[in-house]
Amino acid sequence: MKIIIDAMSGDNAPNAQVEGAILARKELGVDVVLTGHPAVLERCLRERGAAQDSGITVVPAMEIIDMHDDPSTAVRRKKDSSMAVALNLLRDGEGDAVVSAGNTGALLTGATLLVKRIRGVRRACMAPVLPNGGSGALLIDCGANVDCTSEYLMQFAYMGSFYAQRMLGVDSPRVGLLNNGAEDTKGGALQREVYALLRQAGEAGRINFVGNIEGSDIFSGKAEVIVTDGFSGNVVLKTIEGTAKFLMKNLKGALTSSPKAKLGALLVKDSLSGLKKMLDVSEVGGTPFLGIQKPVIKAHGSSDARAIRSAARQAADFAASGFIADVERNAEYMRLRTEETGNNNGNNKED
């Protein structure tokens, strides 16, 4: 297995990427390709005693796509960037998956333009796994597609189901549609259209559709796949992140507010460490782009070496999972026929 790491993108690049690559070699046994400025990366490898590791290679890329670059044009304008070179290597079969902590929009655009979508998939989407006390809950989409059609969301449901089976180990993942109520009449026109499509897919035995899921049910374990448009999904994800930070900050303050509180903190230290680990991006890995022909993992922009290692692990598992073959085999069921869609916002146009 060979993982390509965009070594120059991210807040802590290239040190975190190089150290993460070394950890991936030692702990996962994968080969790693680092894309970026050769002199910089080779110096980083020498400083860490890994210059002679034949399992870590450097491919030159003299430009960097940063957070200020226009996501829609960055990979076209900066063809010699570490991100573009990494994606081209993946497209050409020079590795099995890509990991990048860089500009999310540029990475998604680059993956779509260079690596390409799976045939039949209308839009690639982002699908982070949220903790729910069990296998986790896949939130799909979380920001890649703000404006969605019913066909897009139906495809997200299929892809989320396949991913949960392959990567979360759930035999029959429960698929829920994020809505403002549990009844099948809830939501706007889009949600009602999607509900009907997912119910039909459920009755055909292609997915395990369990109906609408309200925001309060996300962490309840009622569904392993939560389907929504990118706008709503991103609001949900950012709200969860902000709430978690707020609670952890105030919990820390409460546990250090007095000698008695500090004594209590010592007693619950191990339990709190487990909670912190569950929320730690360094352990989780990254967010997969589903619908792309080959695995692309978006690591958090502030990823440290452990987070890059975890993203490489996730990328290797993804590449070996069989998920992409699942989507390819079921593509015909994931498309709407003309008579089903009518003029549903151009659902039937190839785009």
Residue 280 confidence (pLDDT) above 70: no
In a domain? residue 338: no
Which secondary-structure segment (H or E) carries 40? helix 38-47
User: What percent of the chain stands above pLDDT 70?
Assistant: 91
pLDDT for residue 246: 84
Among 146, 142, 179, smallest CA distance to 160 is for 142
Which residue has better confidence, 66 or 281? 66
How large a percentage of the chain has pLDDT more than 90? 73
Query: In this model, does residue 117 exceed pLDDT 90?
Result: yes
Kindly state whether residues 195 and 251 are assigned to the same domain: yes
| pLDDT of 208 | 97
Q: What are the tens digits of pLDDT across the range 149-158?
A: 999 999 999 9
For residues 227 and 112, membership in a common domain is answered with: no
139/265 same-domain check: yes
Answer yes or no: are the C-beta atoms of 160 and 248 closer than 8 Å.
no
| CATH number assigned to the domain comprising residue 71 | 3.40.718.10
Tell me: do 181 and 212 sit in the same domain.
Answer: yes
The reply to whether 160 and 279 lie within a common domain is yes
Q: Is residue 343 part of a domain?
A: no
- State both tokens at 128: 């982070």
Does residue 15 have a pLDDT over 50?
Answer: yes
pLDDT tens-digit series, residues 122-149: 999 999 998 877 788 999 999 899 999 9
Pairing of strands 296-299, 286-290: antiparallel
User: What is d(CA 200, CA 209) in angstroms, rounded to the nearest whole number?
Assistant: 9
pTM check: above 0.85: yes
Domain hosting residue 226, numbered range: 122-284
- Helix ranges (DSSP H) in 268-334: 269-279, 281-284, 305-321, 323-329
User: Residues 221, 112: one domain?
Assistant: no
Q: Is residue 245 part of a domain?
A: yes
Q: Report the domain count for the chain.
A: 2
Q: Does 108 lie in the same domain as 16?
A: yes
